[in-house]
Amino acid sequence: MAALEMVPVVSGSRDGRFAKILIWTGGTILVVVALAAIFAPLLSSWGPKEIDPNGTLAAPGGEHLLGSDGNGMDVWSRVLHAARIDLGIAICAVALAVVVGTLLGMLAGYLGGWVDDGLMRIVDIFQAFPTFILALAVSALLGGGFVNLVITIAAVNAPAYARLVRAEVRTLREMQYIDAAKTSGASTIGIMWRHLLPNSLTPVRVIAPLNCGWAMLTLAGLSFLGLGVTVPTAEWGSMISLGTSDVVAGRWWTSVPPGLALLVCVLGFSLLGEGLQERAEARRR
């Protein structure tokens, strides 16, 4: 009997398992990189700024695991130590951008009126410039150093969060639970802190990891151009910059390892961000 056989409808969309794989892969990569950064001194026999007078541009193998650069510094050790700077600056900068952007976005979105107009025009000014050009200008203004670089990259990214959170808050403030909070006697700050903040952060949670990857690229780009971290401090962008001339001469080991490190790290952030986004979508279904 035809009626007894089962008619399946094939599932076309991805489910939560795919998201899980992405999150785990991205997370694992980042944890490995972070561990490498933390235990860098134990993993390499040379210091990051230590110069081997006998071995400039030594090929990989032998005394230097990944060879040494033109200054005679150990590439492996520098790649590991650079993770501290790159990861540190990227995460701090994004954290700062999230805090500042969320605060501005929430004020603009909830209060509306001239506060909104004023804040959003400032955001417009920031967003009118291409991100990297703006980063160049700000870092040229502030100069290098860990704190200044964090501020530079945060300043470039904060406006996007301000817009995101503002849009979210504009929708949320019309929700019934905000009316319910008002009639329960909650103050404006109470409503923002207790109701708007926790509910408006959902998209931020998804964007922030992706943003960490971009922040890392911005930092590397600045350093590559000599505006970020400079030699002798180990940083992937400046290492690549230093090694460009060597590549032409066939000495790939000075710039390829930091480049690969950067790639893996950004990939980790991207996978994590994509995974979070997938999970959010899977939950919505």
Partner 1 sequence: MTAPAGTPGREAAMTVSLLDIQDLSVVIHRPGRSVAALSNVSFTVAPGEVVGLVGESGGGKSMVARAIVGMLPNGSHATGRVGFDGADVLRMDPADLAAHRGRGAAICFQNPRGALSPTRTVGRQLIDRLVTHQKMTGDRAAESAKELFASVGIRNPGRRLEAFPHELSGGMAQRVMISLATGCAPGLLIADEPTTGLDVTLTREILRQFRHAADTDGRGVLLISHDLASIAEVCDRVVVLYAGTVVETGPAAKVLREPAHPYTRALLRSVPDVNGGRVVPTAGGMPLMTAAPHDCPFAPRCAHAGEDCRTARPETTSLTDGWSLACFHPQETALFAPQEAAPASPSDPAPLPDPQGGSSVAPGASVTADNAEQAGRVVLRVQDAHVVYRSRFGSGGHHALRGVDLELRAGETLGVVGESGCGKSTLAKLIMGLVEPSSGSVAVAGKTVGKMSRVERTRAQMVFQDPIGSLSPRRTVADSIAEPLRAAKVPADARAAKTEAALSRMELDNSILTRYPHELSGGQAQRVGIARALVGQPDLIVFDEPTSALDVTVQAQILDVIADVASDAGHGSVFISHDLATVRGFADRVVVLYLGRVVEEGPVDEVFDRPKHPYTRALLGSAPRLGESRTAEVQLVKDLDEADAATGCALAARCPFVTDTCRSQEQTLQSYGESRAACWRVPELTALIGKSA
User: Which positions touch partner 1 (CB under 8 A)?
Assistant: 2-13, 15-17, 175-177, 179-187, 190, 194-195, 198-199
Closest contact distance (angstroms) between CB of 84 and partner 1 is 34
Closest contact distance (angstroms) between CB of 120 and partner 1 is 16
Judged by CB, which is closer to partner 1: 13, or 54? 13
Closest contact distance (angstroms) between CB of 24 and partner 1 is 16
Q: Is 64 helix (H, G, I), strand (E, B) or coil?
A: strand
Closest contact distance (angstroms) between CB of 198 and partner 1 is 4
Judged by CB, which is closer to partner 1: 43, or 201? 201
Judged by CB, which is closer to partner 1: 49, or 182? 182
**Are 211 and 38 a contacting pair, CB within 8 Å?**
no
Q: Is 55 helix (H, G, I), strand (E, B) or coil?
A: coil
Task: Give CA–CA dist 23/214, Å, rounded.
Answer: 18
**Are 257 and 75 a contacting pair, CB within 8 Å?**
yes
Closest contact distance (angstroms) between CB of 268 and partner 1 is 25
Closest contact distance (angstroms) between CB of 167 and partner 1 is 17
**Are 85 and 234 a contacting pair, CB within 8 Å?**
yes
Judged by CB, which is closer to partner 1: 121, or 284? 284
Judged by CB, which is closer to partner 1: 29, or 196? 196
Judged by CB, which is closer to partner 1: 38, or 186? 186
**Are 211 and 97 a contacting pair, CB within 8 Å?**
yes
Dihedral angle sign, alpha carbons of residues 124, 129, 131, 135: negative
Judged by CB, which is closer to partner 1: 8, or 250? 8
Task: Give CA–CA dist 228/52, Å, rounded.
Answer: 25
Closest contact distance (angstroms) between CB of 40 and partner 1 is 39
**Are 50 and 62 a contacting pair, CB within 8 Å?**
no
Task: Give CA–CA dist 268/255, Å, rounded.
Answer: 20
**Are 280 and 22 a contacting pair, CB within 8 Å?**
no
Report residue 51: phi and psi, to 5°. -105, 130
